[in-house]
Amino acid sequence: MPLIDMPDFSTDLLAEFAARRTERVNTPVIQPAEPFLDMAGEDLRRRIFLTESETGANLCLRPEFTIPVCLRHIETATGTPKRYSYLGEVFRQRREGSHEFYQAGIEDLGDKDIASSDARAIGDATGILKALLPGRKLALTLGDQAVFEAVVKALGLPFGWQRRLIHAFGDMAHLEALLERLARPQPVTGLDPEIAELIASDNEEDLVARIDRTMQETGYSTNASRSPTEIARRLKEKLELAETRLDGTALLLLREFLTLQLPLAEAPAALAGFADAAGLKLGDAVSRFDARLAALANAGADLSAMTYRAAFGRPLDYYTGLVFEVTEVGSSAVLAGGGRFDRLLTLLGAREHIPAVGFSLWLDRIEAARALR
């Protein structure tokens, strides 16, 4: 039995979902924890409620709906394209202090027309909010994980640094700290001199043997940790990353990119100008960005209410392209947020690639906004 009341506009919301030809689904409140711990990102991982089953399996209270809806889709072997909607309670610690609240949303799975499905997700989110908050002026902030990844890769950084920067996308404080480390590398200290020498000599076989011997001598079981080979490779990567310095020009370019913030209609020209001036080839990521903008324009979207911010991301690791949030003009409260997560279903066990995009609605914030009219 719910511990909090369903929002009074839930009937209107379900009618909006039905009008968009979605299939409403529900998922169990108790979920396997591993998918959230592995794929949802640190911001969510530290705020979920964990427990164990009788057999010792890690479980959690449902902290969001995207992963459970995708798991259900895979388990039921349902074909695509498929549009799901949901409305129910989620459980996680929030900065506002609450830990249980209602979320609703749409997950659009399997549509291979990436541009039109991105535009549809934005249109559905803003359209539903306009129906629930008639007469209110909305603002949308849009970012693109794929464009950021293209910029980072074009700068030629080692793969480990690319992974770190991409993982930090959307967390500007973390990203800035990483850029400072790239500008001023700090040497790794505390390594055993023999191991440091073996790493420097690039003799992996002897390095693995040395680590294995140390683990055997100290009783450190490889069954409960990484293997000697894994440890050796991670040590080599750690040293390589610590010694990497991003030259001044590349660092300035990355920081210049992250400062881009302008009306969405002007973003394609700004991205093209940045890439040309920097001598970077951003390829398909920019082509997909342009196609999305064209699809939004063709759908009659109000581009004047949309802003592109290059540094904007959302705190979930599974996003791969479009990311967006909707607020009411004059308020910082996020009413809806979502994006594209094309890799998630494969990582969760789908046998074939399933492109996906979706969004969530924060019903308690919508309810508070309705109370102010």
Mapped onto helix, strand or coil, the DSSP state of residue 109 is: strand
Please list the residues that pair with 84 across neighbouring strands.
Answer: 23, 107
- Annotated binding site, which residues? 64-66, 92, 103, 107, 314, 318-319
User: What domains lie within the chain, and their CATH numbers?
Assistant: 10-151+261-371 (3.30.930.10), 193-243 (no CATH)
For residue range 171-215, list pLDDT tens digits in order. 899 899 888 888 876 665 556 777 767 666 776 777 778 777 777
Token duo for residue 361: 């609605």
Alpha helices in 171-319 (DSSP H): 172-183, 193-201, 204-218, 228-243, 248-258, 267-278, 284-298
Residue 61 pLDDT: 94
pLDDT in tens, 136-181: 999 999 999 999 999 999 988 878 788 889 988 988 998 998 888 8
Q: Which has more pLDDT, 3 or 300?
A: 300
Mean pLDDT of 313-342: 94
285, 147 contact by CB (below 8 A): yes
Residues 314, 362: Cα–Cα separation, whole Å: 14
Question: What 8-state DSSP symbol labels residue 178?
Answer: H
Beta strands in 99-251 (DSSP E): 100-109, 138-144
Q: Mean pLDDT across the stretch 345-352?
A: 94
Highest mean pLDDT among 42-46, 89-93, 267-271: 267-271
Residue 1 pLDDT: 43
pLDDT of residue 65: 97
Residue 241's pLDDT is 59
pLDDT tops 80 at residue 83:
yes
**Residue positions in the annotated binding site for L-histidine?**
64-66, 92, 103, 107, 314, 318-319
At residue 204, the pLDDT reads: 77
The more confidently predicted of residues 249 and 130 is 130
Cis peptide before 81 (omega within 30 of 0): yes
